Structures are given as structure tokens and as C-alpha cells.
Structure 1
Amino acid sequence: MAGETIISFVYGLEVQDEDDPYITAVRRALVGLVVAAVPGAFLVDALPILKYVPDWMPFAGFKRKVKQWCHWATIMVNMPFEAAQRDIRNGDAQPSFVLNSLDSMDRSKDIEHQQSVIKSTAATMYLAGSDTTSTAISSCVLGLVSQPKVFNKAREEIDRVIGTGNLPTFEDRDSLPYITAIAKEALRWRDVLPIDENICAILQKSSTNDYFQDGKIDPDAKDPASIAFGFGRRICPGQYMAFSAIWIAIASMIATLDISKAVDDNGKIIEPSYEYVSALVRYATYPRAPGFSFLMKNYITVPSSPLPFKCSIKPRSPQAESLIRATTNAEYF
């Protein structure tokens, strides 16, 4: 949902499925970003003179990797932008950031430069908004699996407010404070960008759940959403959209799915793994480049990406399954 939402918002394009070329492009581009952003990931970080070594020589493997990553990044930047431009020319464009920005260009100034800025800005929004949102949702699922009391209390709130045969909407948000608290606690418990040291330190200053004490909301706890998205000039410009996407995903999952710990063949409960691999962004769903885990564990000390864990996720009822199938391609924004 996160990738589809951001592509629609930024470019006005529709995503067909998980293997959609636009989704694939951003996943491939992220591989290079995540690996290269780690201090000391390559020997050239310690010995800058290696950047002058020919590609074919030993210790120059990073150059070959960077060329591939640049190729993927170029595709990610150009492909959706060109598709949006094509829709605009054909009169098929949907409302989007790209459409509004191109329409607002100053025709008396350098058009090519303005288009380049719009394209780069769109790519930044595209890159920053897709995986960060889905990562926060993935960490929330881990939290719900590990805290069944919280999940059950959230289910009770959902059923009381909207009933068992409906999906939550944004109009229900004020009536679902416990769901909102879960979404905010997910941002605090496993912040999406742990490499941002000051925010990570603020959010993790306490070893106990700030928002939940014995399954109840602590009204005096500081709002994690006021911290997780940064401050001042560097605050996340998409914070409200991102949190709304996280909220509607969590609310919809709790309304329609039974989420619990997995059980083995002998009926024994399998405790979820809480092991994390360090990274720029907390990843839970996408494949990593060879050596990724080793590099992260050795060069960043902040826990980041949850390793795969077993859990049970299934529709709570046939009616809930019908709701899920009926809204597979629904638009929330």
C-alpha cells in the first residue's frame, strides 16, 4: 500500500502488483543507498586512494557495484517521471505533485533546469516515502505479535466503534485513540531511521513502553510523532501523509486480521525473534545485497532491521476476508 500511495501521490501513476516496474525500481535503487551509506562498508572509505584504482584490479569491486547501483538509481529517477510526462501529453494525467509542479513552472526562466529540479524532488519523495512507511508497519506487526494484550484491547476498540463488518476510515480516527497510540508507539519502539542518532536517543531513552503501561495509554507520555519525523528545516515534509498511511494500515489490519504468535507442529508457541540487523532504514521485507548483514553488524551499532520471524496472520472471519479482497486496490488518499 505504501509504495502504491506514494507513486500515485507523486506521479499520478497506478501500481498493478508487487512486481510492478515502479516498485521494483525503487527497491533496486535502495540496495545501493543502504549499503553505501554505512561508514566503512568498503575499504575505500579507509583508503581513499583506492578510488583511482582501475575497475578490474583487486579491491576495486566497489566500483563495479556503484556502476550497477547508479544504473538502477537512474532508472528509478527517470522511468516514473517520463511516464507521468507521457500521461500529461496524452491528457490522461491524474492529480499529482509532478503535474502540479510542471503546471506551475515559470515559463520565462530555464525550463530544463526547472524540470530537472522537479524530477529530482519527485524521486526523493518517491524514495523516502515508500519503504519507510512499510517498514514502520512491519515493526508494528512485530509489536502486536509480541503484545497480545495490546492487540486484543485495540480489537475491542475497533469493534466497539465501527463494528465487525466494516473497515475503519479517517473519519473514525478521533474515536480510535488506542489505535492512534499504537501507531505512535510503533514510531518510538523501532524508529525507522536509527542512524539519526539524536532522534534515536530521544525515542529510546526509556526501556519501558512510553505509551502503554499495563495495556493502558499513558496520557503524560511525550508524543513520539513529535520527535520521529525530525525538527526544523530537516523535518520530514511528508510526516502527516506518512502517519496517516501507517494509521489506516494498522487500523485495517486490526479490524480484519487475527495476528498472533505462531505455533509449531507440536502445538508449542513460537516466540518471535527480536534480533535486528543494523541498516540505514529498518527493513523487514526486501532482499539484501550479499554481505549486507555482515557489513551492518560491524559498522553500525544501532539495531535496525528485524530478522524474519514466524507469526500467524489470518482473516478473523469469512466476512473479513471478503472485505480484504474487496479493497485490494482501494485508494485511501
Structure 2
Amino acid sequence: MGWEFNIGARLHRRLLDQELNVKASRKYEPDELIASHKLLKRLLDTPDAFLTHLRQMAGELILSFTYGIDVLPSDDPYITLAEEALHTLVSAAIPGKYLVDTFPILKHIPIWFPGAGFKRQAREWRKLARSMLELPFLETKRQMESGIARSSFTADRLNGLKDTNSAYQEDHIKSTAATMYLGGADTTVSTLGTFILAMLANPEAQKKAQAEIDGVTAGETLPTFADRDSLPYVSAIVKEVLRWKNVTPFGAPRLLTVEDEYRGYRLPARSLIIGSTWSILHDPIIYPDPHTFKPERFLLNGKLNPAIRDPEAAFGFGRRKCPGRHMATSSTWITIASVLATFDINKAVDADTGRVIEPTYAYFQGVVNMPLPFKCSIKPRSTQAVTLVKGAAASSQ
């Protein structure tokens, strides 16, 4: 399907770790703050399109720091391309979905052969993957040649190729940039969509978080990253969102290099092992009552409890843990804090019957769990909140 650039090779991983480690990723906090403020303005203007706004914010942020590309306010071709390409990947990468996953010898049959429909489908889907790899990269190079490119991962790394001691080549940079683009688009939308569902299901949690935020800002300013230590309940909500309906239900497949045993099961060498992230994050021993949304599980005496296991398994485990996890967590935190500071999230009400519309809490289940479209009511908490949102949006232009 053309996704071989996302193989996590050593040089690619090193580039990602250099750019997105816990210290380096802090340089993106100003961009994350601006993106969250733009989201607030969109929610104020057209709240019913909240899922579209979440996707716009995610694409805007990723394309900005990865390629230095400014996206269109709506119907941006790069965001649309990412959505279409990722939909094919999320659908096709479910282990065992295709017979060729179980019988790899089938990959050698001719494309015209009966039963080779998976090959014909992959050939079409490959066009989207290759476009996602090439088009934004070429745009950054065009801007560099024109002298108008701003600082971004791609532009900075390409400039670094002038160093004769560089271990990287242009293809390494292109593949790594596309992997960053791939890794943050759908996952961010899924996480923030789950946050909204969690607030619909748990209005008391929303009220507690808003009271905590008001105690810090007095409703006179929007939250910033400087407030993070003062908002432990908001941080607990972020952790519980990542755990409750985790984005990726299973980890990347691993190949055993030696024979092993697990709970009495013999696992021969060269067995393919797929870890259940969902089971790890819903272990009733570690997280009692695991299917209930309870931010309090991460707190003790009003502070984050270090004795409770952090839901970092949401980002995978081992050497292939998501290198963008630090940035993902910080952008999620500031977005959730900003939305809670300014909006009330409630269940929608049918205009004709006056009945509350109960969300289904249904997800598209694939490599990435994505909330299916649902309705809700997102309204400003006060006139002061409206003023804050408009002011922040104006300063973000």
C-alpha cells in the first residue's frame, strides 16, 4: 500500500527522538497554545461542526511544525489527503483482516488472479500513501527554493544536510516527516473526541475541572502551560481520557527472536506477538472498575498520585513506543484545559421533541479507535468566556 516509509528504521527513530523528546518538544508549546485558541474560536462560531474543527486543529498543528505549511481555514487539501489516506491504513492494518496476513505466500499471486482483489485494492490505496509522503515535502522544498520557507522540522533538517558530517539523507527526512504527519492526525482527533464523550457521560467531572480552572484563572484569563502544576484534576482527566477509550487497542506486532513462555503458553521463536494495549489499560487490578471514567483514580489528597501507573501504554511500549507522546500529551492538555475554561459540553436536545439525544458512544474500530459522529451541545460558559475566546483568536492571527 506504499506505507513502507513508516517502518521505524533506526535513523528515522533517531530523528524523531531528537525532535520530539521531552525537552525538545517543549519548543512547540507556543504553537500548541495558538492552535487551541483557534479551535476555541471555531467552536464559538460553529459548535455543531466540532469533529471537523478537531481534525482541522490537528492537521494545522502537525503541518505547521513538520513542514511549515499554513493550511486553509476549511477544506484544506493536505488535511483532506491525510484523512483519506489514514482511513485506508486504519482499515487495512487490522491483523488478520486479509487472508494474505495469515498465508503470506499469497502476496506472490498475480494481480489479475481470482482472489487477488486485495492486491488491486492496495494498488489504488497506494496512490494516497505516496501522495501523503511526497506532496507536503515538495511544498516545503518549493518554499525553500523561493526563500519563503519558515522554520520547521523538514526545512531545518534539509538545511542541515549541508553539513558534510550529517548521517542523514533527504529520504530519511522525507520519511520521518511523513511518519510525524501520520502519527498525529487521527490519534489527536480520536483523543479529543473521546474527551467530549467523557464529558457528556460525566458532567460532574466537567464541573470539578471547571471549578479548579476558575480557582486559578478567576475566569479572567485562559489557561497556559504555566498553570499545569496548579491543575491536577485537569491532568487527571487527560490521563483518564488516554486510558478509558485508548486510541490504539493493540500494539505494533513483534517477532520473537527466541522461544518464550507466557502463563503456560509456549511461544515458539519467530512467533508474531501482538500486545493488547486495551487489556493493559483496562486491567481491573491496576485500574479498579476500569470501564468507568474516573479521573480521581489518578489523584491522592488533591495531587497526582505517583503510585498509580501512568497510562503511557496508550502510546505503545518498548523501543517502538510513540516518539511523539510528549507533544501529544501537552497539546491534549492545553486543548482540554482551554475548552473546559470557556465552554459547557452537554448532551444535545432535539429541537422538535425537546428530548435529550443520547450519544451511542460508538467507535470505528481499527488500528485507531475513532468516535463515530455524534451530536452534543457546546456553548460558552459566560459573556466573559466569549470575550476571552475572541481576544485569544485575534492575537493568534
Q: TM-score, normalised by structure 2?
A: 0.70
Question: What are the residue-to-residue correspondences of 1:64-75 with 2, within 5 Å?
Answer: 64-75=120-131
Which digits, 9 at most, give the CA deviation of each residue in 1:169-203, with x for residues without a partner? 11121211111111111001111111223432221
- Whether the 8 Å CA contact 1:31–1:69 is kept in 2: the answer is no
- Whether the 8 Å CA contact 1:203–1:224 is kept in 2: the answer is no
Residue matched to 1:227: 313
Q: Secondary structure at the match of 1:280?
A: coil
- Whether the 8 Å CA contact 1:165–1:319 is kept in 2: the answer is yes
Report whether the alignment pairs 1:242 with 2:328.
Answer: yes
Give the counterpart letter for 1:24 in structure 2. T
Report whether the alignment pairs 1:130 with 2:185.
Answer: yes
Residue matched to 1:15: 71
Residue matched to 2:382: 317
Q: Secondary structure at the match of 1:258?
A: strand
Give the counterpart letter for 1:204 in structure 2. H
Q: Percent identity?
A: 47
- Whether the 8 Å CA contact 1:179–1:251 is kept in 2: the answer is yes
Give the counterpart letter for 2:375 in structure 1. K
1:204 offset after TM fit, Å?
A: 0.9
Question: Where does structure 1 lack aligned partners over 5 or more consecutive residues?
Answer: 285-306
Residue matched to 1:293: none
Bigger shift: residues 22-31 or 318-327: 318-327
Report whether the alignment pairs 1:168 with 2:223.
Answer: yes
- Whether the 8 Å CA contact 1:157–1:178 is kept in 2: the answer is yes
Q: Secondary structure at the match of 2:155?
A: helix
Q: TM-score, normalised by structure 1?
A: 0.82
1:75 offset after TM fit, Å?
A: 0.8
Give the counterpart letter for 1:178 in structure 2. Y
Residue matched to 1:118: 173
Residue matched to 1:211: 295
Q: Which has the higher contact order (CA 8 A, sep 6+)?
A: 2
Distance 1:329 1:20 in 2: 21
1:61 offset after TM fit, Å?
A: 2.8
1:235 offset after TM fit, Å?
A: 2.1
Residue matched to 1:76: 132
Distance 1:214 1:54 in 2: 54
1:311 offset after TM fit, Å?
A: 2.0
Question: Where does structure 2 lack aligned partners over 5 or more consecutive residues?
Answer: 1-56, 252-274
Q: Secondary structure at the match of 1:269?
A: coil
Q: Secondary structure at the match of 1:270?
A: coil
Residue of 78, 89, 114 corresponding to 1:33? 89
- Whether the 8 Å CA contact 2:343–2:380 is kept in 1: the answer is yes
CA 24–277 in structure 1, closer or farther in 2 if over 3 Å, else same: closer
